[in-house]
Structure 1
Amino acid sequence: MRSALVPVSLAAGMAYPFWVYAVQGRVEPAWIMLPLSALWLLRTLLARPEEPGGRLLPAAALAGCIALSCSDAQLSLRAYPVLVSLFMLAIFGGSLRYGPPVIERLARLREPELPEQGVRYTRRVTQVWCVFFLLNAGVAAALALWAPWSWWTLYTGGISYALIGALLVGERALRPFLLRAA
């Protein structure tokens, strides 16, 4: 069940901006946020307590979704991508503090005996992701507050995912060169 929850959560998150845009003004915000709350509740219940953030981070996201669902404002619908970016920032930032960094854990799946230069490199990459999630949350918040719905939808449903993809692909392409320089 836990392994099936990740792709379902990812798909729901990616579809969310388009779904909100399509039903805006026709559906109360609570009816949009409550299904997401149910997904976060499942993630909270199925989280491994020994992992960094364990149940605390998904429980915080659940509380955020519930708080957003209690608001009748359309602005609360636009706040969800900000919440997700801050959630990801907490995961990546927490891993820097309590270790090992997220990117190091991913690198060790492929290379269990990661050399010291690889450990330093993966720490820096995790820091880059933290900056990205902070900036992404800021842009999403600014668009939520001041931009038309179409701009918010375009950014949170497309551009932000394209930026994530570019960061993933770019880092992967540059990794051999950057590791040699580290």
Structure 2
Amino acid sequence: MRLPRLAPRLLVSLPLSGLCLAARAAGQDLAAAALAAAIIVAFLAPTARPAGIVACALAAGIATWLWVGGTGGARAVLAALPLAGNLTLAWHFGATLRPGQEALIVRYSRAEHGEIPAGLVRYARRLTALWTAYFLLFSAMNAATLAGFGPPAGPSAALNIGLAAAFFLGEHVVRGMVFPELGPVRPWRTLRAIWRADAVPHAR
């Protein structure tokens, strides 16, 4: 099974994420829950076409609106969102570690550098595994919170995002020291490689 492309999903989910945050800030839990469901489904939709992703996200959002509006479950959906998000990301990275698959960050490295040395292949595969473990760790923390004995949701989410940003930026420093022959290692070059690998067919 080929991993779904990330780029068209980001095109749909990023605007929805902004709307979800605005709805939460305005105290509109029902709207925020519907948008949150749409974001998750945008990543899991069984199509790579933006129109199809939008249709799946819209259907999920409407279904969630109708369901939680009748049961009062908007807060439950929002509480489960961090767990769903971390599990989705863990799957996105971890699915590429199966035998015969090219690890996700190896693919991104090839999109940036073309042919890459064996040492970088090993490094990128291990980095893919580390990101998978990171998201699984926070999934466990989110599950504990939902069960009533984990850390509060707000501080947990802040820690999740803060550590992910630090991990992403810090890894660039490490990679630049381990592989100086690659030239400057910059976060925006990595983001461009991710986009190219997922948006350009021949980069796959």
2:102 aligned counterpart, secondary structure: coil
Higher RCO structure (Cα 8 Å, ≥6 apart) = 1
Aligned alpha-carbon RMSD (Å): 3.8
Q: How does 1:107-118 map to 2 (within 5 A)?
A: 107-118=109-120
- Between 139-148 and 80-89, report the one with greater CA deviation: 139-148
Separation in structure 1 between the aligned mates of residue 138 and residue 120 of structure 2, nearest angstrom: 26
Q: Is the 8 A contact 2:34 2:64 kept in 1?
A: no
Q: How does 1:129-148 map to 2 (within 5 A)?
A: 129-146=131-148
Separation in structure 1 between the aligned mates of residue 84 and residue 160 of structure 2, nearest angstrom: 14
Q: How does 1:165-180 map to 2 (within 5 A)?
A: 165-179=165-179
Q: Is the 8 A contact 2:16 2:35 kept in 1?
A: no
1:100 aligned counterpart, secondary structure: coil
State the one-letter code of the partner of 2:122.
Answer: R
Shift of 1:9: 1.5
**Which residue pairs with 2:128 in the alignment?**
126
How many pairs does the alignment contain? 162
Separation in structure 2 between the aligned mates of residue 67 and residue 96 of structure 1, nearest angstrom: 33
**Which ranges of structure 1 fall in alignment gaps of 5 or more residues?**
49-54
Measured at CA, do residues 18 and 112 of structure 1 come closer, stay the same or move farther in structure 2, by a change above 3 Å? Answer: same
- Structure 1 residue 96 and structure 2 residue 97: aligned? yes
Shift of 1:21: 6.8
**Which residue pairs with 2:36 in the alignment?**
36
**Which ranges of structure 2 fall in alignment gaps of 5 or more residues?**
1-5, 181-204
Shift of 1:128: 0.4
TM (norm. structure 1) is 0.68
**Which residue pairs with 2:154 in the alignment?**
153
Separation in structure 2 between the aligned mates of residue 165 and residue 15 of structure 1, nearest angstrom: 22
Q: Is the 8 A contact 1:143 1:152 kept in 2?
A: yes
Identical aligned residues as a percent:
24
- Between 73-82 and 36-45, report the one with greater CA deviation: 36-45
